[in-house]
A and B are shown apart, each in its own frame.
Chain A
């Protein structure tokens, strides 16, 4: 019997009082794709960081091809034949593909021979794995799918036999993801071992041979993919039965709440980010904006949320909203009745060093209910925060804890509680469940649907097609700053939307 490509025995790692990995053991056979799935904070990334030499395990052993191996740093990991493709690419934007590939793996002080050697190797790799890239293209000029290929080639150039991919499809269109999976399949055929970290059940089912489930730092199960189902995996991840589809009744759209006409945004570099957007959101419906990240969805939210200048007309319940000047800011938007759950909750929606109660007041801190004289009425804010935390089941329910000490899902609940409980006419919500664990996703989706059922208008931006399809009543697809098309969510599918997302008019 062949030795496993990677075997971990009893890996444990604690950060202070938090046990990130608890006695984890897995075996991954060569020439297979092994999925690791788990909620955010389940310890997947920690485990892989140990394997790649970023962290030192408190206990446990690593065996590579049957050999016990110490991995004190990433150099050692590369030497052991491990390659890692991070969620956020580690590429130098203004270097060419070739330069990025040799970066850190140059032979000698002169670049020319290394580049020449890399060029030949690259051609070989291209043939062997069907991985096409232009070696002289500059990174910032090629798409994300291509950039990811460069990352994979970087690992292969360093003779990696084991590839770890961390959430690789987060930034890809469905079509690009399919292409990635074809590449991974090809690598498997050539005998490479692949570890795929993801929280998307669909990907696990599609490509992996075996799958391990992690929950709260422990490996709860390792099963053959063929023998399991998405429902079972979800249950293993969360520890209880989970509703994968959102439970909701058909929308009863009312009057138009948000009316956007010919909205245009030009960024600092003079690039037109929104090129004439027209859309309407009615009371009692969720309009989902689908699209690959970076096609103008963020700009749309920023304009509507009041922190980017734009031209065009936007009305809320018939009242025009200012798009430039002094009153085009977040505060006046809130006064208009627009609440906003921003895409990047850690950098926009929350201030991580602030206590939960300060974050609950944040944005609404001028509310008279929060003042006493010229001072803030801290006691009132704390009481309010406590009530909101209880209603939204924020754990732990301590208003004094800093935002950074909550998990992603609970952070999102703090933001949601703050925005939803203001009873807005329009809720803007970006990536509501990014970095949020499955258990909390269910809760957040229920809150959004409940708000809709109260007759509020909701504009949802998400890069997760699954989420859009299950949550939105209507779907508008954005590509390159324009709306490519609108569909009823019940009358479309991922394939059709995927084509629109890629800019193909159907």
Chain B
């Protein structure tokens, strides 16, 4: 029997980890002579205190949902896809090509086309490491990291030599046509009578990210393919016994993973920048790993963790803007959250399990006593 009730497993453990990370962050802020309470206030008001703040928080969260889901799907197959960064970059290339070279009549069609383009490019970028792992045994962690660098170089080449408009000094594509402009939350919510900040970049991609969460949940937990992916991730030998091919599952899981990572580009490239620039991904591929870890590779967990990291990103930016807390410290805080929620999971879990065990014991002792 499991030691802890389910709610403790999925709610209590991450919350305590988070609290510990917060306490340690507060100590660090204290140590450099700043006021942690004021810092928290600033972060909360900056990230959640206005629709402008929310707009940024949700914009970042959308990125992290896609990359978090990407890592989560690969995790279920027992694969550690660190290449979300590169796959998202290539996804950006796919979006740019689709938006620049196909004359879309309306954004609704464009976003479908761009989603396909982003997913295909991201998946293709993941396919090579997947093939190398499945057929040649090259470790996927190593190859996906390598492919991040190659992706950056490819993008550099494409932007400098191929896609850069004539006469421009900026290694970026030209602006996408007006027809593919995605409505922001401001534009989406205005007809409903809800006013939302005009300047915030959160856009309709958020809805696609949420749909992706649901789709991944269905795939992993409700389909035969999902059962195969999970089986392969839990026990390669059992999968082999059941006739679940390792090459097939490795390829499929990585294609889905890469596709999801690539789909991030409809948010940051199509939704926000509206052109492809260098380093458009800004580390979201790596944050995806932390998001998947904290979300326990469950799509709903990924959803929540993505919002948390969106908050940290936006709140951190506000801190850097309004206080003398250096930008690097925000990275430290984010790292602490990743450390506690991802890496030091057992540090919280073990004492908690012991606590629950003790509680149950004293309860059964009480229950049996009167009978004696």
Residues of A within 8 A of B (CB): 14, 16-18, 305-307, 329-334, 340, 342, 344, 347-354, 358, 361-363, 365-366, 370-371, 374-376, 378, 405
Residue of A305, A329, A347 near B245 (CB, 8 A) is A329
- Kindly identify which residue among B218, B235, B240, B245 contacts A351, using a CB–CB cutoff of 8 Å: B235
Residues of A within 8 A of B227 (CB): 358, 361-362, 365, 376
B224 and A363 contacting across the interface, CB-CB below 8 Å: no
* Chain B residues touching A, range: 20 to 34
Q: A348-B237, A351-B231 are in contact. Are A362 and B242 (CB under 8 A)?
A: yes
How distant is the Cα of A330 from the Cα of B245 in the complex, in angstroms?
9
A375 lies within 8 A of B223 (CB): yes
A306 touches B243 (CB 8 A): yes
Find chain A residues with CB under 8 A from B161 CB.
none
Q: Please, which residue of chain A has its CB at the minimum distance from the CB of B231?
A: A351
Which residue, of A18, A342, A378, has the highest number of chain B Cβ atoms within 10 A? A342
Residues of B within 8 A of A (CB): 1, 3, 218, 222-224, 226-228, 230-231, 234-235, 237-238, 240-245, 357, 360-361, 364
Nearest-Cβ distance from residue A390 to partner chain B, whole angstroms: 22
Q: Which residues of B contact A330 (CB under 8 A)?
A: 240-244
**A-B complex: 3 closest residue pairs judged by Cβ atoms:** A330-B243, A331-B243, A363-B242
CA distance A347 to B364 in the complex (A): 34
- What's the Cα separation between A16 and B2 when bound, in Å? 9
Contact among A344, A374, A405 for B237, CB-based, below 8 A = A344
- Are A374 and B223 in touch, CB under 8 angstroms? yes
What residues of A have a CB within 8 angstroms of the CB of B231 in the complex? 351, 354, 362
**CB within 8 Å for A370 and B238 given contacts A16-B357, A333-B243:** no
Q: In whole angstroms, how far apart are the Cα atoms of A362 and B357 in the complex? A: 33
Find chain B residues with CB under 8 A from A305 CB: 241
B1 near A331 with CB under 8 A, answer: no
In the assembled complex, the Cα of A142 lies from the Cα of B19 at a distance in Å of 55
Q: A332-B243, A365-B224 are in contact. List 9 more A-B contacts (CB 8 A).
A: A14-B361, A17-B1, A307-B243, A354-B231, A354-B234, A370-B224, A374-B223, A376-B223, A376-B227
- Enumerate chain A residues within 8 angstroms of B222, measured Cβ to Cβ: 375-376, 378
* A402 to B, closest residue via Cβ: B2
13 A-B residue pairs with Cβ-Cβ distance under 8 Å, sorted by A, are A305-B241, A331-B244, A340-B241, A348-B240, A349-B241, A351-B231, A353-B234, A365-B224, A370-B224, A375-B222, A375-B223, A376-B227, A378-B222
The residue of chain A having its C-beta at the shortest distance from the C-beta of B356 within the complex is: A16
Contact A351 B234 (CB under 8 A): yes
For residue B234, which residue of chain A has the nearest CB? A351
Residues in B whose Cβ lies below 8 Å from that of A374: 223
Question: Closest approach, in angstroms, between the C-beta of A373 and any C-beta of chain B?
Answer: 10
Contacts of B245 in A (CB 8 A): 329
Expressed in whole angstroms, the minimum distance between the Cβ of B101 and any Cβ of chain A is 33
- CB proximity of A17 to chain B, nearest CB, Å: 6
Contact of B242 among A16, A331, A352 (CB under 8 A): A331
**Closest beta carbon of chain A to B248's beta carbon, Å:** 10
- A351 vs B241: C-alpha distance in the bound complex, in angstroms? 11
Contacts A14-B361, A351-B235 given; indicate if A363 touches B241 (C-beta within 8 A): yes
Q: How far is the CB of A343 from chain B (nearest CB, A)?
A: 10
Measured CA separation A366–B225 after assembly (Å)? 9
> Which residue of B is nearest A366, CB measured?
B224
Tell me if B1 and A362 are in contact (CB < 8 A). no
A16–B237 CB distance below 8 A: no
Query: Is B1 touching A334 in the complex (CB atoms < 8 A)?
Result: no
Whether A334 touches B241, Cβ cut-off 8 Å, given contacts A365-B228, A371-B224, is no
Whether the pair A17, B364 counts as a contact (CB closer than 8 A) is yes
Bound-state Cα–Cα, A375 to B223, Å: 5
Determine if A351 and B224 form an interchain contact, defined as CB atoms under 8 angstroms apart: no
Give Cα distance in the complex from A17 to B368, angstroms. 13
Name the residue on A nearest B226 (C-beta). Answer: A376
Q: How far, in whole Å, are A376 and B229 apart by their CA atoms in the complex?
A: 14
* Nearest neighbor of A401 in chain B, beta-carbon distance: B1
A501 and B222 CA atoms in complex are apart in Å by 48
Which of B218, B224, B228, B231 counts the most A-chain CB atoms under 10 A from its CB? B224
Query: Which of B228, B231, B240, B241 has the largest count of A CB atoms less than 10 A from its CB?
Result: B241
Q: Which of A305, A306, A348, A352 has the most CB of B within 10 A?
A: A348
CB distance from A396 to the nearest CB of B (A): 11
B360 close to A16 (CB less than 8 A)? yes
Whole-angstrom distance between the Cβ of A324 and the nearest chain B Cβ = 14
CA distance A334 to B241 in the complex (A): 11
CA of A354 to CA of B239, assembled, Å: 13
Chain A residues with CB below 8 A from B223, complex form: 374-376
- CA gap between A14 and B231 in the complex, in Å: 31
A329 and B235 in contact, given A365-B227, A376-B223 (Cβ under 8 angstroms): no
> How close is A246's CB to chain B, nearest CB, in angstroms?
27
Q: Give the distance to chain A from B78, nearest Cβ to Cβ, in Å.
A: 12
* Bound complex: CA A268 to CA B100 (Å): 51
Chain A min CB distance to B247 (Å): 10
Chain B residues, Cβ within 8 Å of A353: 234
A332 to B222, CA, bound (A): 23
**Minimum Cβ distance to chain A for residue B350 (Å):** 14
Given contacts A17-B364, A362-B231, contact A375 B243 (CB under 8 A): no
B237 engages A347 (CB within 8 Å): yes
Residue from B228, B240, B364 with most neighbouring chain A CB atoms (10 Å)? B240
Residue numbers in B under 8 Å from A366 (CB-CB)? 224
**Are A347 and B224 in contact, with the CB atoms below 8 A?**
no
**Quick check: A347 and B1 within 8 Å, CB to CB?**
no
In Å, the complex CA distance between A349 and B234 comes to 12
Cβ-neighbour of B218 out of A347, A352, A370, A375 (below 8 A): A375
For A307, the chain B residues whose CB sits under 8 A away are 240-241, 243
In the complex, the answer to whether A329 meets B243 with C-beta atoms within 8 Å is yes
Residues of A within 8 A of B3 (CB): 16
Q: Are B234 and A376 in contact (CB under 8 A)?
A: no
